[in-house]
Amino acid sequence: MSVLEIRVLGDPVLRQDTKPVATVTDELRALIDDMFDTMRAAKGIGLAAPQVGRLERVAVVDVEGGKQPLVLINPEIVSSSTDTAKSEEGCLSIPDVFGDVERPSAVVVRALDRDGNPFEVSASELLARCIQHENDHLHGKLFIDHLSVLKRRAALAKWSKQKDRYPGFIRRLTDEEVAEHHHAEDL
Ligand code: NI
């Protein structure tokens, strides 16, 4: 188990579509364990494979501090509520940048678990938001894409002042001082 480097905005891997997992192997489970370690070290609540430079269609989520860790392999959102909710999001790949994102307030997601067994989860509130944010990552989409043009411009301006801290678009948690203002909703 190890903490991996996190790729930040500007790395083309974050804009790539992922490849569906054909077989859940021990190698994939090792990646999943490393992704949980990385997410927790970064104090995030979700992490998708492209954020650690990988293109397997896999994400991990944990919105309750270890109580309900969720592995999503080949996730598909099979239904979304018509009612929406707006709330602030951040992203481990865009440190210190936040923005209000409107999304369906509830979703049903179908995926494989770490043993390769299919399951379905009905999620609402923060879990629903996190699943949608991670599912976006698996298709090259980031939360800033959901912002209005003006809000996105402001977010990118803020990011342009941060990005020099991440040469090669790499965020090394071990090198990083524990951030002064960790945010509860870095996904
Ligand atoms: Ni994210």
Residue for token pair 């509830």:
106
Point out the catalytic residue in the list 5, 56, 89, 134: 134
Residues, CB within 5 angstroms of ligand 1 (ion): 91, 187
CA 17 to CA 21: how far, in whole Å? 13
Number of domains forming the structure of the chain: 1
Average pLDDT of the chain, as a whole number: 93
Residue 101 has pLDDT above 90, yes or no: yes
Cα 133 from chain centre: 6
Residue for token pair 């999943």:
32
Helix (H, G, I), strand (E, B) or coil at 22: coil
Task: Work out the percent of the chain whose per-residue pLDDT is above 90.
Answer: 87
Residue 185 CA to ligand 1 centre (angstroms): 10
Residue 27 CA to ligand 1 centre (angstroms): 23
What pLDDT is recorded for position 184?
A: 54
Residue 115 CA to ligand 1 centre (angstroms): 24
Residue 177 has pLDDT above 50, yes or no: no
Give Dmax over CA atoms of the chain in angstroms. 45
Residue 11 lies in a domain: yes
Residue 155 CA to ligand 1 centre (angstroms): 14
Residue 141 lies in a domain: yes
Helix (H, G, I), strand (E, B) or coil at 26: helix
CA 129 to CA 102: how far, in whole Å? 9
Residue 1 lies in a domain: no
CB atoms within 10 A of CB 34: 18
**Alpha-carbon dihedral 19, 22, 28, 33, rounded to 10 degrees:** 80
pLDDT band of 173, cuts 50, 70, 90: confident
76-90, 154-168, 171-185: the lowest-pLDDT one? 171-185
Q: Residue 147: give its domain's CATH number.
A: 3.90.45.10
Quote the DSSP letter at residue 145.
G
Any idea how long the chain is?
A: 187
134 among known catalytic residues: yes
Residue 52 lies in a domain: yes
Residue 142 CA to ligand 1 centre (angstroms): 7
pLDDT band of 176, cuts 50, 70, 90: low
What pLDDT is recorded for position 148?
A: 94
